[in-house]
């Protein structure tokens, strides 16, 4: 049942249209405890209605944001390109593992180097890999909930 909800959430996200919207703000709310997960908000201004939409990713486990702000500025105000969500377990596993060297963590023996991430990798089916692409970069969120 959980998996079906994640696939439905990905399908709902894939039907949203952010093309040519303007990125107004990106806010990251870091966790305050082990039970309080990260929240990431993209604030976008709709290109056709000028209304502001807040795309909020809740219960984020990983986030990767790569941006060339010169390119983003050159495309102002129509800098959002596309959005897509994926529930492919192999792709999500690769997304998490590729980030591990960037975490700059070392674990002392007898703990294996993958022990901290093992729990996350074992529960991949409860996550969705969301992506928002811009003319100039990409934001990828590996999380559990989406709110618009």
Look at residue 49 and give its three-state secondary structure. Answer: coil
CA distance 126 to 40: 18
pLDDT per residue of the chain (148 residues) written in tens, 0 to 9: 578 899 999 999 999 999 999 999 999 999 988 777 899 999 999 988 999 999 999 999 999 999 999 999 999 888 999 999 999 999 999 999 898 888 877 777 787 777 778 888 999 999 999 999 999 999 999 999 899 8
66, 138 contact by CB (below 8 A): yes
For tokens 């303007």, name the residue.
22
- Helix then strand then coil, in percent of the chain rounded to 5, is 30, 40, 30
Look at residue 114 and give its three-state secondary structure. Answer: coil
Q: pTM above 0.85?
A: yes
User: Domain ranges in the chain?
Assistant: 2-147
Six-digit token string for 42: 């993209």
pLDDT at 1: 53
Six-digit token string for 40: 């990431």
CA distance 122 to 115: 11
From the list 33, 35, 3, 16, the residue with the least C-alpha distance to 147 is: 16
131, 139 contact by CB (below 8 A): yes
């Amino acid at each position: 049942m959980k998996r079906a909800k994640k696939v439905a959430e990905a399908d709902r996200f894939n039907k949203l249209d952010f093309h040519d919207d303007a990125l107004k703000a990106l806010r990251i709310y870091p966790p305050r405890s082990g039970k309080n997960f990260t929240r990431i908000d993209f604030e976008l201004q709709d290109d056709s209605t000028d209304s502001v939409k807040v795309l909020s990713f809740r219960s984020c486990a990983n986030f990767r944001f790569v941006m060339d702000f010169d390119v983003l500025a050159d495309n102002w105000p129509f800098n959002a390109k596309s959005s897509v969500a994926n529930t492919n377990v192999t792709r999500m596993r690769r997304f998490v593992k590729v980030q591990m060297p960037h975490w700059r963590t070392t674990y002392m023996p007898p703990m294996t180097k993958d022990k901290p991430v093992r729990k996350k990798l074992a529960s991949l089916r409860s996550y969705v890999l969301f992506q928002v692409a811009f003319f100039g970069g990409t934001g990828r969120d590996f999380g559990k909930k989406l709110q618009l």
